Structure 1
Amino acid sequence: MFLARVAAVALALVALAVPTSRAQQLPDLVGDPERGRVVFLTLGGCVSCHGWPGDGKTGLDMRSPTGANLRESELDKTLLTEVISCGRPATQMPYHDRAAYRDARCYGLLAADFAPDTAPNRGKLLREQDIANVVAFLQAKVVGRAGPPTFEECIDIFANPAAAACKNLK
């Protein structure tokens, strides 16, 4: 019993010492999946690396790096928000939060903590609400989709039956 209490106190102290993630610091914004779709496909540049269906390969600009397959992602709202806000250091996933690495909101790190040429990439900067919107879109239309993208998904994402991206899926 005594050891269980000591372990619980130690665990609580460790939790207090770990910096709060950016996603946990954000107010619990409710995202708009429709606005998130627009940001994903245009403003955020997400589609350049992740492709329109979020699979990391379909419809990519060949000059862009291949992004993660978001269809197979198991990230929840908090982790999606953190990755979009803070990027992934040592990868090509850029950060989109205007204040990322200016304070310790992102993984407890500052820009000065990185060696030259190893700092996280800066993506198109997004408002907090638009990050929440992209997360809502991903959760509604991308994350958890099994298999290759379908014609129906393409029409749903582009909201246009004549979308050029959908023609090859018929």
Structure 2
Amino acid sequence: MGCVGGAHAQAASDPTDAGKAVFKRANCMGCHKWHGNGGGGYGGDALSLRKTELTREQIVETVSCGRPGTGMPFFVRGSYDTTKCYEMTRQDVGDRMPPEANVFLRPNEIEAVADYVLAHVKGKGEPTYDQCIAFFGEGSRVCNIYKGDGHAAAPSDQNDKAKP
């Protein structure tokens, strides 16, 4: 409807939009980055969701329960207390207790974020301009580094424009 190739209509009806919203609201991108590559830099040293071999059920459990001994927080109220995680209680986990997330999620929100990761992140290779625009929206300046060949441009590209 006025969009070339129907790209906007397709994006608007993407069933994983709810999961993308949870990914943003729960600040998954604070550690995994918008594209899911994780690694060092801002927010933390998270594992790559693009390279993960976790199944949907394992992703749901990881988001619900966090990861003992790491910075991956748990997003379900009562994890390790009223709800066993990885067949463990808070006492079993001891000093390896994962941190509590800044926001708690409902089971349907956790399933939605797992579906989003499986549909748009896991196994998708290096991030591209189109993926960035799909995440942030049309006109996002964040995505400008992916213009051209579709991969992140070298930082020196902007300096080259200033040369005569």
Q: Same fold (TM over 0.5)?
A: yes
**Percent same amino acid at aligned positions?**
33
TM-score when scaled to structure 1? 0.72
Match of 2:88 in 1: 109
Question: Which residue of 58, 80, 84 maps to 2:59?
Answer: 80
Question: 1:68 and 1:145, CA in 2 relative to 1: closer, same or farther beyond 3 A?
Answer: same
Q: Which string of whole-angstrom CA distances, capped at 9 and with x for unpartnered residues, describes residues 63-96 of structure 1? A: x212110001111111111111111100111111
Higher relative contact order (CA 8 A, sep 6+): 1
What secondary structure, in the 3-state scheme, does the structure 2 residue paired with 1:49 have? Answer: helix
What secondary structure, in the 3-state scheme, does the structure 2 residue paired with 1:134 have? Answer: helix
TM-score when scaled to structure 2? 0.74
Task: Tell me which amino acid in the other structure corresponds to 1:71.
Answer: R
Aligned partners of 1:103 and 1:109 also within 8 Å: no
Question: Which residue of 36, 48, 55 maps to 1:54?
Answer: 36
Using the alignment, how far apart are the partners of 1:107 and 1:120 within structure 2? Answer: 12
Matching of residue 35 in structure 1 with residue 23 in structure 2: no
* Runs of 4+ in structure 1 over 4 Å off: none
Aligned partners of 2:70 and 2:96 also within 8 Å: no
Map 1:12-31 onto structure 2 (within 5 A).
Answer: none
Using the alignment, how far apart are the partners of 2:64 and 2:88 within structure 1? Answer: 13
Please state which structure has a larger fraction of its residues in strand.
1
Question: Which residue of 121, 140, 157 maps to 1:163?
Answer: 140
Shift of 1:104: 5.0
What secondary structure, in the 3-state scheme, does the structure 2 residue paired with 1:101 have? Answer: coil
Task: Tell me which amino acid in the other structure corresponds to 1:121.
Answer: P
Match of 1:119 in 2: 97
For structure 2, the 5+ residue unaligned runs are 1-14, 148-164
Aligned length: 132
Question: Which residue of 113, 131, 134 maps to 1:153?
Answer: 131
For structure 1, the 5+ residue unaligned runs are 1-31
Shift of 1:100: 0.7
Task: Tell me which amino acid in the other structure corresponds to 1:122.
Answer: E
What secondary structure, in the 3-state scheme, does the structure 1 residue paired with 2:104 have? Answer: strand
